[in-house]
Amino acid sequence: MSDFTKRKSKEEVISSLKGIALEMHNKMERGTPPTMTLPVRSKTNIAFDQKLEVYKYGKKKTIRDATSLGSARQLLRSLYVTEFIEQMIEAGKSSTLREMYYISESWGHGKFGTQNDSNNLAEDLEIVTKCLREDFKLRPEEDGARIIGDVTFEEKNRKGDWMRINCRDDVGDSGYGVPYNVESEKLKLITEDVDFIMAIETGGMFDRLVENGFDEDARCALIHLKGQPARSTRRIMRRMSDEWKKPIIVFSDCDPWSFRIFASIAYGAIKTAHISEYLATKGAHYLGITADDILAYDLPSDDLTKQDLNALDAELTDPRFNSGYWKEQINLMKELGKKAEQQSLAKYGLDFVTDTYLPEKLSAIGLDY
């Protein structure tokens, strides 16, 4: 197990955070500007980790030093955040990232400019200290996924009692809402009676599959990703894959952004590459819609925009897409100059997706039903 998956004690968290202050203080004592050392967080610094089988940050480091006003402010903010987290740990409280953003109003020159600043800094601190933001008592506000299917969890409710929930029988049409914390102290995976787990990009398609009873017909659990999946969504998929040994199938639109969603699920996201082994599910499978589906099923499509083309070109130099399959898909999409939505399948009727498209695609990878 890596540094990340091993949960840290309060004392360990505080002492790692103080390491940041120590780096700054030591530099100043030596008469040089204070610094904070971070790995470079871009596609140029992610590499496949043979042992973990996911993409992780490489060796490139960036040094944030107090020679410009912006960086100096970031350093000061880190110190304020350290102090704030220490206080929360002592008091046994937690706060959302957004709450921290508002609390920073009283931090004078350490105040955040935007919510994005505070989110990024929380991630910086995770990376530098090798702690999780859950250790920092910081919660995201991101919307967790919804699940429908014959799988059963136990979730600890606010009263501290374990509550058993079957995601087919105990939920309404909107499914089971995945909480932000899906670690074992909060959520247990109990039983399942499915053959695979299908992650769906758009709400419209998720609802279509639910209405058509696809989860029961195909013996699967459906997860609505809600666009770029939140950390907890990726984490619960990883746990279901690890603990239940079920394949994860991704069904998304056919555009450059959907490819990135898949990459963050299967290989690890660039922003969270420090915890890829904890969030990414190796072996997740991209079912569709593929670029060749646009041709094979003669789907209604839109022209690629300039931004789409730029995104595709960027993917061609992204190490995560450096495989024969992805190069072919990306180049084919560029050649067609087209993209298509999941819901374009409705061209052939509302049941086409469940009666024809998915069975054909699944059977091609040996998941007949």
Residues 215-254: x where in contact with other proteins by CB under 8 A, - otherwise, as a string? ----------------------------------------
Please state the length of the chain. Answer: 369
Q: Does 303 bind other proteins (CB under 8 A)?
A: no
Could you give the CA distance from residue 233 to residue 200 in angstroms, rounded to a whole number?
Answer: 12
Q: Does 34 bind other proteins (CB under 8 A)?
A: yes
Q: Does 29 bind other proteins (CB under 8 A)?
A: yes
Q: Which stretch binds other proteins (CB under 8 A): 66-74, 199-207, 349-357, 359-367?
A: 66-74
Q: Which residues contact 115 (CB under 8 A, 6 or more apart)?
A: 97, 98, 101
The smaller minimum CB distance to other proteins, of residues 67 and 323, is found at 67
Count H helices, E strands: the chain? 14, 17
Could you give the CA distance from residue 131 to residue 15 in angstroms, rounded to a whole number?
Answer: 11
The smaller minimum CB distance to other proteins, of residues 12 and 355, is found at 12
Residues 68-87: x where in contact with other proteins by CB under 8 A, - otherwise, as a string? xx--xx-xx--xx-xx--x-
Least distance CB 339 / other proteins (angstroms): 32
Residue of 102, 180, 286, 357 with catalytic role: 102
Of residues 367, 46, 74, the one with CA closest to residue 217: 367
SS3 302: strand
The smaller minimum CB distance to other proteins, of residues 83 and 143, is found at 83
SS3 146: strand
Q: Where are the beta strands (DSSP E) in 185-257?
A: 187-192, 196-200, 220-224, 248-251
| Orientation angle between helical segments 231-244 and 256-266, nearest 10 degrees | 50
The smaller minimum CB distance to other proteins, of residues 111 and 338, is found at 111
| Orientation angle between helical segments 115-129 and 69-91, nearest 10 degrees | 70
Q: Does 32 bind other proteins (CB under 8 A)?
A: yes
Task: Report, as residue numbers or ranges, the catalytic residues.
Answer: 102
Binding site for other proteins (CB under 8 A): 18, 21-22, 24-25, 28-29, 31-34, 66-69, 72-73, 75-76, 79-80, 82-83, 86, 108-110
